[in-house]
A and B are shown apart, each in its own frame.
Chain A
Amino acid sequence: MIWFKSCNPYITLLYFLSVTALSAVYNNPLYTAVTLASALCMFIMCRGRGKTAFGFFMIFLLTFIVNPIISKKGATPLIFIGSDPITLEALIYGLNSASLIAAVLFLFYCFTDITDSEKLMYMLSPFSASFALTVSAVLRFFPLYVRQAEQISEQQTAAGVRGGGSIPERVRYGGRIFSALSTWALENGIVTADSMECRGYGTGRRSFYSAYGFKKSDGVFLLTEILLIAGAVIPSFFTSCTYEYYPGLRFPEVNALFITSASCYALLVFLPLIFEITDKIKWKFLLSKI
């Protein structure tokens, strides 16, 4: 996902939020299938080959099984367990929501992969400068504390305190290190804050450095994105796009409006992949010219 990673973070955020929200609102197996297909493709591209998604599959299975067991709604019982029916409708509903959850998990995996800490800061800073500062400080403190903890541990060993042995001993040793570390950390924090203030933090108006501009291709993507979201949402005000599960399964009426909404949604979901592949082809083409 080289192209998608390099574009403006707000655009990627809009993509992930709109796809997740729309697929959950429509709750239609057709929409869910499209989302899942795209999410899987993106997951494979983000994660590389040979990696599995066993945890996600377990969540999928759990959601799929739980709904038919809990839900007693629906008109077509398939089998009875005791006096409780397991209905076809609940089964289909479970399958749909399980696929939806799996798709969302895949999408958010990609979102986490695409959004590094720099992008997180960029997205947070206009809303809350102090929150963004906290996040940025934590990301710096983390490696600092790990290093400090190692030093403390070495000093303790040199002073004759041993960490190995039984579990209570190890816990006590860990507590010792944690205590020393937090004393040092709190004091270091005050020194950091004083140093920040001495250099003029909080005196003038804040300005933000940002590494993310707004390129022409970002504009094209954003415009297409907004048009497709509108194309997927507006028809649903005039015709029903939601799938009815209870009491009986009912697919929404297939008319021009529904087809417009569904195809706009499908295009929206696959938009990053389309841009990605176009970009790759362009790159290959340029390479072959040299």
Chain B
Amino acid sequence: MTVIENKNARNVIRVLTPVILTAVAVLCALFASDGRKYAVITVIVTLLTLILFLSGFDSKRIGSRRLVLGAVFVTLAVAGRFIPQLKPLTALVIISGMFTGAETGFLVGAAAVLISNIFFGNGPWTPLQMVGMGLIGFFAGVFSKPLQKKKIALIIYGVLSGVFYSMFMDIWTTCSATGSLLLSDYLKSVAAALPFTAIYSVSNVIYLLLLEPPFHRKLGRIREKYGL
């Protein structure tokens, strides 16, 4: 696929293409629909954001060890999603972000959603889920120090990530059901999803508290053995 030889030129194109496409897509959608078709705009914009975000990641900067560890976490997370309603996926994404860094965290979140959706059904909502879960992993990496040290920080992050993911996906629910994004409709769907949000947040916390100590130990052992 490498047609352009110059590395800088390739990087510029890689970053500029999604930016220009996003602008064009938003303008087209606004013109063709009097600005009411939020669902399409949402999907296109998130898809391009995702491409922009991912194209910035360089495997040299992340390092192959962390990259493969990320892949290991994705596999474990996807395997865990087969348990209905209670999803250790988020907990494992958070743990991977905590121990392998913010960039790998985003990658793990996005990849875990993409691959588990191969089994559970991909759709227009996939890019949104990828961005949402990716951000959860990303910020787990950003706040890795307090998260590793204090249990209470872990609990708060588990609850917040559950609420964030649920509210983030409600944007899509509102858009697809009503074709517009009014604040009142959005609040209604957030309220309707409240029980699921609660279950989700609580299960996040339970899984984090259950899984964090053993993974902390296991990764500590590997760090000692291989000098990570």
Contacts and interface: CB of A to CB of B under 8 A. Distances in A.
Contact of A179 (B2, B39, B70, B214): B214
B194 interface: no
A33 B1 CA distance: 38
A20 interface: yes
Given A97-B177, A131-B57, A210-B1, A196 B64 contact: yes
A207 interface: yes
B71 A130 contact: no
Interface in A16-60: 20-21, 24-27
A83 interface: no
Given A128-B57, A190-B228, A134 B67 contact: yes
B40 A186 contact: no
Interface stretch (A63-71, A153-161, A251-259, A278-286): A63-71
Interface in B69-120: 69-72, 74-76, 78-79, 107-108, 110-111, 114-115, 118
Given A21-B44, A207-B2, A190 B69 contact: yes
B130 to A, nearest CB: 10
Given A27-B179, A134-B70, A186-B218, A108 B124 contact: yes
Contacts of A108: 121-124
A193 B60 CA distance: 13
A192 B68 contact: yes
A25 B107 contact: no
A242 B33 contact: yes
A208 interface: yes
Contacts, number: 157
Interface string A116-138: 01000000011111110111011
Interface in B45-77: 51, 54-55, 57-60, 62, 64-65, 67-72, 74-76
Contacts of A178: 76
B107 A130 contact: yes
A189 interface: yes
A128 B218 contact: no
Interface stretch (A139-147, A217-225, A263-271): A139-147
Nearest to B68: A193
B71 A134 contact: yes
Interface in A46-98: 63, 66-67, 70-71, 97
A206 B59 CA distance: 11
A182 B75 CA distance: 10
Interface footprint category on B: 35 or more
B75 A185 contact: yes
A138 B69 contact: no
Interface in B12-63: 14, 28-29, 31-34, 37, 39-40, 43-44, 51, 54-55, 57-60, 62
16 contacts: A20-B40, A24-B40, A104-B123, A108-B124, A111-B122, A125-B1, A126-B14, A128-B57, A134-B70, A135-B114, A138-B74, A138-B78, A185-B72, A186-B72, A208-B2, A242-B33
Given A126-B1, A138-B75, 17 more contacts: A21-B44, A25-B29, A25-B40, A97-B176, A108-B123, A108-B124, A128-B54, A128-B57, A129-B59, A131-B54, A139-B115, A186-B69, A186-B222, A190-B65, A193-B64, A197-B64, A210-B1
Interface of B: 1-2, 7, 14, 28-29, 31-34, 37, 39-40, 43-44, 51, 54-55, 57-60, 62, 64-65, 67-72, 74-76, 78-79, 107-108, 110-111, 114-115, 118, 121-124, 176-179, 188, 214-215, 218-219, 222, 225-226, 228
